[in-house]
Amino acid sequence: MYRQKIDGTSKVIYYFSAWGGRDSNPRGFIILDSTKQFQVEIENILPIYQLSQIPNKTNIEGITHDCYGTCGELYYNSKPVFRPMKVDISSENGFKLKTRIYQYKGYSEHNRGLERYVFEKFKETKDSLIFYNLDDVESMNGIHLDTLKVKKGSVYLLFNKKNNIKKINVDNVTLNFKTNSIEEIRHIALTPKNEIKNKELSERGIFRELLK
């Protein structure tokens, strides 16, 4: 389970995945006041798969998908649509939630597989993380990147027993500025070559693993 503080509020947003009875696997995002203890309440799970922006004190934006005639066998003979099919606006725990709903095939065709890199150093800005001297050491491609810039918002920190960062997972959604069409969805796992302390990264736009 992970938690991110929301700037300018006493609220936090959790991301969780919890196995339940009868093969149920509730997962997703829940907003709570920081003074309240977390518990899974299905009706409070936000109707999104991923955040598309850093949550702020008034607004949260996310994306999800629905079939729109492209699930199952229909997938192969259907045409992908990358623009949002529908936009829902709702109120969630005092926040305005904008949910962009995409066609399943359009979503899937821009959803890249997991990328894995080790990196030498990083820099944080208000809205981004920039990683330097990256190597893909887990695939046969041997890809080297001088730099990699990712948006904050869906950045997840995992810790070792010393509370230092052992891995950074990133879900990056890129939407077209004018049309909000999906341009790219990336899932990136980043492992530091050198020790990084928890306090070296800010709270803004970053989820932190809650250790048991």
Q: Summarize pLDDT for 14-27 with one digit per residue, the tens.
A: 999 876 555 567 88
Bridge partners (DSSP) listed for residue 190: 117, 168
CA geometry: angle at 97 spanning 201 and 190, to 5°?
A: 30
62 CB burial (10 A radius; 0-12, 13-18, 19+): buried
Q: Using only C-alpha atoms, what is the Rg of the chain?
A: 18
For residue 86, the model assigns a pLDDT of 98
Q: What is the mean pLDDT of residues 91-106?
A: 96
For residue 19, the model assigns a pLDDT of 62
A 10 A CB-CB count for 61 gives 21
Beta strand residue intervals within the chain, DSSP E: 2-5, 11-17, 27-33, 50-51, 59-66, 84-92, 95-103, 111-119, 121-124, 128-135, 144-151, 155-159, 165-175, 182-192, 206-209
Q: Summarize pLDDT for 37-96 with one digit per residue, the tens.
A: 888 888 899 999 999 999 999 999 999 999 999 999 999 999 999 999 999 999 999 999
DSSP 151: E
Q: State phi, psi for 41 to the nearest 5 degrees.
A: -125, 110
Give me the residue spans of the domains in the chain.
2-109, 114-209
Q: Summarize pLDDT for 140-159 with one digit per residue, the tens.
A: 678 899 999 999 999 999 99
pTM of the model: 0.93
Q: Summarize pLDDT for 182-206 with one digit per residue, the tens.
A: 999 999 999 999 999 999 999 999 9
